[in-house]
Amino acid sequence: MLQSWEREYGAPFDGYGQPSRFEQPIMRHFLRPYGDLAPGTGAALTPLEALEGIITPSGLHSIRSHSGTPDIDPQKHQLLLHGLVARPLKYSMPALWSYPMVTRVHFIECAGNSVRNLAPQPLQLPAGAIHGNVSCSEWTGIPLRVLLEEAGLVAEAKWLIAEGADSAHMSRSIPLAKALDDALIALYQNGERLRPEQGYPVRLLLPGWEGNMNVKWLRRIKVVAEAAHTKDETSKYTDLQPDGRALQFTFEMGVKSVITRPSGTMKLPRTGLYEISGLAWSGAGQIRRVEVSVDGGSTWADATLTGEERPKSFVRFRRAWEWNGQPAVLQSRAIDAKDQVQPTRKAWLAQYSRANAYHNNSIVSWAVAADGSVTNVYV
Amino acid sequence: MSTYKRLAAAAVAGLLAGCVTQPQPQKAPSLGTAAPAEEVAQLDISIPPTGQGLPPGGATARQGATLYAAKCASCHGAQGGGKPADALVGGIGSLATERPVRTVGSYWPYATTLFDYIRRAMPLAKPLSLSNDEVYALSAYILYLNGIVAEDEAMTATTLPLVRMPNRSGFIDAWEQKR
């Protein structure tokens, strides 16, 4: 049947495009621990279940903020670089925008991602509402090394303290080795200047490391000899073990994967051929292999990968699956270039105190019932 | 020969020789401008465990009690018990149990972090609004509620870094271990 839109002149140009109105329900999932008391505190998670490919649209990139999103005028914002340097320097945004730049694709994952899958009973929520505090973008900016060399590092320099210009003035200590390796002063995300909630006009990008360290709204870098032991690297983002001692400075995000389709709250409408599709990533570098199980981990088969040449980036994995209508448990297991294998839930839990909420990279399980409904289960 | 012509000639010679252009190491334009010491001092609010950078002044827990009730209690509880925001008091000795309670008293390794964090981020709706003496007073009060300092013990640039937190040795430096 000929549709109405084939007989009508279409909409005029739009200065800034938006998704189809039929796609408008695809939104970030909010995690607001203080509710309306602090509506910009907490996280907004990427709806992984609704997306395909590798790049997260900027408007759906996950957010973790402590004191909301500041409204920064780039003409008034400065980046200060000081401490153990020969020449303390400040940079205006126009200055930073005119530096030579590099472009790379990297994921950012909050160290607290998948905390919801530590609930006593599995939560029946979409994949992104549980595991979506991770996203992947193309980032463009200045290698941090370039600015550090310009300021001239002093011999005792071992750490940096990075600080945001939001009202939380979030700050983290970063080993100099990382800063000189692949750290970026990021100015652009997916081709356009950073979104406000992603740190406009400038953020730190530490590929593969805890999202919290990728300081947004970057206003100051202080070069120091010792870590500052800020609130966010002592009372938070430290990993309590069963013996009561906590691991501190566990910067790198572990090897991880999650099946995004089919996933929790979905329903398979028929038996027959499906594609299992998901995302894998590792803070250590490239993803070498992703295996998929449809029988709760008894047997595994290799998935096809897309983007595996990129280190510290999302990799899309896919595998065909013929569903015969019997109950099934779908799992994925990622292995990175350093041969690190994504742990089972049981093995992961054994490492930590039950109060630990960070670095949960354990295997995710989705159960498919005979009626096709998909639920979150603990295996 | 003009510079342009000379470059063009060199480029043609290069092409004829079949050479491949190597990517140039990135050159920076050096656009940072000198940051005067007084400007740096104004922006530098980091306080490490040594206490370096702690401002003059000081206060006791007794002086902090009223201020805490006015500015902190609504989110952190009258006695620091928390809700809706983090608990600040209690939990000492609980970390290795089935129900660990992580507070300033039970978990934080350094007292200097209190000053650093309160000054930079609290109260949530009005950070950087407290005077240095007020930040000292609140730090002292929270330490006092945890039984770590006495009610009349002044917290200053000298005394705050010397406070021994109960969980001072409770952390393993995973970064150092990995290297």
Amino acid A1: pLDDT? 84
- Summarize pLDDT for A323-337 with one digit per residue, the tens: 999 999 999 999 999
* The length of chain B, given as a count of residues: 179
CATH number of residue B133's parent domain: 1.10.760.10
Q: What is the CB-side half-sphere exposure of residue A74 using CA atoms within 13 A?
A: 15
Contact B33 A102 (CB under 8 A): no
Say whether residue A103 is in contact with chain B using an 8 A CB cutoff.
Answer: no
Closest CA to A231 of B146, B103, B65: B103
Q: Is residue B16 part of a domain?
A: no
How many distinct structural domains can be found in chain A?
A: 2
Amino acid A32: pLDDT? 94
Q: Are residues A232 and A109 in the same domain?
A: yes
CA distances (Å), A54 to each of A60, A118, B173, in order? Answer: 13, 26, 34
In a mutational test of the A interface, the residue from B38, B39, B43, B45 whose CB has the highest number of chain A CBs within 10 Å is B43
Contact B95 A353 (CB under 8 A): yes
Positive or negative, the CA dihedral A199, A201, A204, A205 is positive
Domain of A203, in residue numbers: 78-237
Distance in angstroms (rounded) separating the CA atoms of residues A220 and A78: 8
Amino acid B20: pLDDT? 52
Q: Is residue B119 part of a domain?
A: yes
Number of Cβ within 10 Å of residue B40's Cβ equals 17
Q: What is the CB-side half-sphere exposure of residue A140 using CA atoms within 13 A?
A: 14
Distance in angstroms (rounded) separating the CA atoms of residues B112 and A227: 13
How many distinct structural domains can be found in chain B?
A: 1
Q: Are residues A162 and A295 in the same domain?
A: no
Q: Is the peptide bond before B123 cis (omega within 30 degrees of 0)?
A: yes
Q: Are residues A89 and A221 in the same domain?
A: yes
Å between A2 CA and nearest CA of chain B: 55
Say whether residue A146 is in contact with chain B using an 8 A CB cutoff.
Answer: yes
Q: Are residues A83 and A231 in the same domain?
A: yes
Domain of B115, in residue numbers: 58-168
Instruction: Name which of A90, A228, A242 is nearest B33 (Cβ-Cβ).
Output: A90
CA distances (Å), A33 to each of A36, A39, A109, A354, B86, in order? Answer: 9, 9, 19, 19, 11
Q: Are residues A190 and A307 in the same domain?
A: no
Q: Are residues A194 and A336 in the same domain?
A: no
Q: Is the peptide bond before A327 cis (omega within 30 degrees of 0)?
A: no
Q: Is residue A31 part of a domain?
A: no
Q: Are residues A136 and A177 in the same domain?
A: yes
| A256-267: average pLDDT | 98
Q: Are residues A89 and A193 in the same domain?
A: yes
Q: Is residue B139 part of a domain?
A: yes
Say whether residue B87 is in contact with chain A using an 8 A CB cutoff.
Answer: no
Q: Is residue A190 part of a domain?
A: yes
Contact A88 B34 (CB under 8 A): yes
Q: Are residues A296 and A201 in the same domain?
A: no
Q: Are residues A94 and A211 in the same domain?
A: yes
CATH number of residue A175's parent domain: 3.90.420.10
Amino acid B22: pLDDT? 57
Say whether residue A82 is in contact with chain B using an 8 A CB cutoff.
Answer: yes
Amino acid A205: pLDDT? 98
Could you write out the three-class secondary structure of chain B?
Answer: CCHHHHHHHHHHHHHHCCCCCCCCCCCCCCCCEECCHHHHHHHCCCCCCCCCCCCCCEECHHHHHHHHHHHCHHHHCCCCCCCCCCCCCCCCCCCCCCCCCCCCCCCCCCCHHHHHHHHHHCCCCCCCCCCHHHHHHHHHHHHHHCCCCCCCCCEECCCHHHCCCCCCCCEEEHHHHHC
Q: Is residue A338 part of a domain?
A: yes
Contact B116 A147 (CB under 8 A): no
Q: How far is CA A272 from the centre of its chain?
A: 33
Q: Is residue B44 part of a domain?
A: no
Which structure tokens are listed for A253?
């995000």
Q: Is residue B38 part of a domain?
A: no
Amino acid B28: pLDDT? 82
Amino acid A7: pLDDT? 96
Say whether residue B89 is in contact with chain A using an 8 A CB cutoff.
Answer: no
Q: Tell which A residues from 209 to 238 touch B, by Cβ distance under 8 Å.
A: 219-220, 222, 224, 226-231, 234-235, 238
Helix (H/G/I), strand (E/B), else coil: A231: helix
Which structure tokens are listed for B81?
């018990």
Distance in angstroms (rounded) separating the CA atoms of residues A43 and A34: 11
CATH number of residue A366's parent domain: 2.60.40.650
* The length of chain A, given as a count of residues: 379
Q: Are residues A205 and A270 in the same domain?
A: no
pLDDT bracket for residue A253 (50, 70, 90): very high
Contact B116 A231 (CB under 8 A): yes
Amino acid A367: pLDDT? 98
Q: Is residue B68 part of a domain?
A: yes
Q: Is residue B33 part of a domain?
A: no
- Summarize pLDDT for A177-218 with one digit per residue, the tens: 999 999 999 999 999 999 999 999 999 999 999 999 999 999
In a mutational test of the A interface, the residue from B24, B27, B31, B114 whose CB has the highest number of chain A CBs within 10 Å is B31
Contact A354 B95 (CB under 8 A): no
Chain B residues whose CB is inside 8 A of the A222 CB are 44, 46
One-letter identity of residue A15: G
Could you write out the three-class secondary structure of A276-312?
Answer: EEEEEECCCCCEEEEEEECECCCCCEECEEECCCCCC
The rounded mean pLDDT for chain A is 98
Each residue's pLDDT expressed in tens, for chain B with a length of 179 residues: 444 445 444 444 444 444 455 555 567 899 999 999 999 999 999 999 999 999 999 999 999 999 999 999 999 999 999 999 999 999 999 999 999 999 999 999 999 999 999 999 999 999 999 999 999 999 999 999 999 999 999 999 999 999 999 999 999 999 999 88
Helix (H/G/I), strand (E/B), else coil: A183: coil
Q: Is residue B42 part of a domain?
A: no
Q: What is the CA radius of gyration of chain B?
A: 27
